[in-house]
């Protein structure tokens, strides 16, 4: 059953342990208003620890994934309220992107169409990203007279080369989904009519993995990027030991099913988590 947030800016549906969350302002190309940012945080809150949800997918209703920040409601209207208005709006948007970056469950951006500017925040926040070849990605800020803020400049340099990021940000030209995959903005691109099937396939693989190990893994990949080798080595020891305090049986079961039961091969797939003791 599809549910919507009180003001209708976010829609979501849980099917077979996958939460399909959508930006839901198709008439406004899913641009992010303060209302949407507030409602998205509420929806993320509701789903994060729900036992019914194992993976979260973020996509957009209609022709857009998200046309970035709402130029009227997010920029002009909040600026008219003074510095507090601007800062409040920034905190709300950056807040849910940060929540998503460190979300408890694995997250997938399913980029079905337009993805501009501020949209790069949630794009980067998702652990994995798949795009329609027809989608268009752009740092359009330069076209309307600002720099790529809200993390967008950082996202571009995190995901692609400095030359590409610079050209992308300075020229304000769009790239399609296929190029976005070549540049590293997304994992893969495929025709729009195959996008949902591919994302469902990926989500179903993730659902079969140990959830404590997945959370430790995704956090580790993000954290170690900014560490020296020695710090990363140490962090990974601590992170695994911390994970053991939530699940001390998973890895033992994983070893047992391979070495003793010979029921699977870790090089070829995941152990059967349903057989794991609580």
Query: Which residues of this chain interact with ligand COA, rule CB under 6 A?
Result: 27-29, 31, 63, 67-72, 114, 116-118, 140-141, 144
Q: Which is nearer to ligand COA, 152 or 206 (CB)?
A: 152
Q: How far is the CB of 77 from ligand COA (least distance, A)?
A: 11
Q: 66 and 60 in contact (C-beta within 8 Å)?
A: yes
Residues 70 and 12: their CA atoms lie apart, in Å, by: 21
Q: Which is nearer to ligand COA, 61 or 272 (CB)?
A: 61
Q: How far is the CB of 157 from ligand COA (least distance, A)?
A: 17
Q: 38 and 71 in contact (C-beta within 8 Å)?
A: no
- Cα separation values, 222 from 101, 140, 210, 237, 270, Å: 9, 26, 19, 15, 23
Residues 43 and 48: their CA atoms lie apart, in Å, by: 9
Q: How far is the CB of 89 from ligand COA (least distance, A)?
A: 12
Residues 33 and 195: their CA atoms lie apart, in Å, by: 26
Q: Which is nearer to ligand COA, 85 or 222 (CB)?
A: 85
| H or E element in which residue 129 lies | strand 128-132
Q: How far is the CB of 22 from ligand COA (least distance, A)?
A: 16
Residues 133 and 116: their CA atoms lie apart, in Å, by: 15
Residues 25 and 66: their CA atoms lie apart, in Å, by: 9
Q: Which is nearer to ligand COA, 29 or 215 (CB)?
A: 29
Q: What is the number of the residue whose Cβ is closest to ligand COA?
A: 68
Q: How far is the CB of 69 from ligand COA (least distance, A)?
A: 4
Q: How far is the CB of 42 from ligand COA (least distance, A)?
A: 22
Q: How far is the CB of 203 from ligand COA (least distance, A)?
A: 27
**Residue 132 β-bridge partners:** 190
Six-digit token pair at 250?
């998973």
Q: Which is nearer to ligand COA, 138 or 250 (CB)?
A: 138
Q: Which is nearer to ligand COA, 32 or 41 (CB)?
A: 32
Residues 220 and 213: their CA atoms lie apart, in Å, by: 10
Tell me the three-class secondary structure of 30-70, residue by residue. CCECHHHHHHHHHHHHHHHCCCCCCEEEEEECCCEEECCEC
Q: Which is nearer to ligand COA, 34 or 106 (CB)?
A: 34
């Amino acid at each position: 059953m599809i549910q919507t947030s009180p003001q209708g800016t976010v829609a979501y549906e849980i099917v077979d342990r996958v939460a399909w969350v959508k930006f839901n302002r198709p008439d406004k190309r899913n641009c992010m208003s303060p209302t949407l940012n507030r409602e998205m945080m509420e929806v993320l809150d509701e789903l994060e620890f729900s036992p019914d949800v194992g993976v979260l997918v973020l996509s957009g209703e209609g022709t857009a994934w998200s046309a970035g920040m709402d130029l009227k409601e997010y920029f002009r209207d909040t600026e008219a309220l003074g510095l507090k208005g601007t800062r409040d709006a920034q905190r709300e948007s950056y807040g849910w992107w940060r929540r998503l970056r460190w979300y408890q469950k694995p997250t997938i951006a399913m980029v079905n169409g337009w993805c501009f500017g501020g949209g790069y925040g949630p794009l980067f926040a998702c652990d994995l990203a798949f795009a329609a070849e027809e989608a268009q990605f752009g740092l359009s800020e330069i076209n309307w007279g600002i720099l790529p803020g809200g993390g967008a400049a950082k996202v571009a340099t995190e995901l692609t080369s400095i030359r590409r990021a610079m050209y992308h940000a300075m020229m304000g030209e769009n790239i399609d989904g296929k190029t976005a995959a070549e540049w590293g903005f997304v994992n893969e691109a495929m025709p729009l009519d195959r996008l949902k099937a591919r994302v469902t396939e990926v989500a179903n693989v993730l659902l079969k993995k140990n959830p404590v190990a997945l959370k430790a893994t995704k956090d580790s990949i993000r954290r170690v990027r900014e560490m020296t080798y020695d710090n990363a080595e140490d962090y990974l020891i601590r992170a695994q030991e911390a994970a053991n305090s939530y699940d001390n049986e998973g890895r033992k079961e994983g070893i047992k099913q391979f070495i003793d039961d010979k029921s699977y091969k870790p090089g070829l797939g995941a152990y059967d988590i349903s057989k794991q003791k609580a």
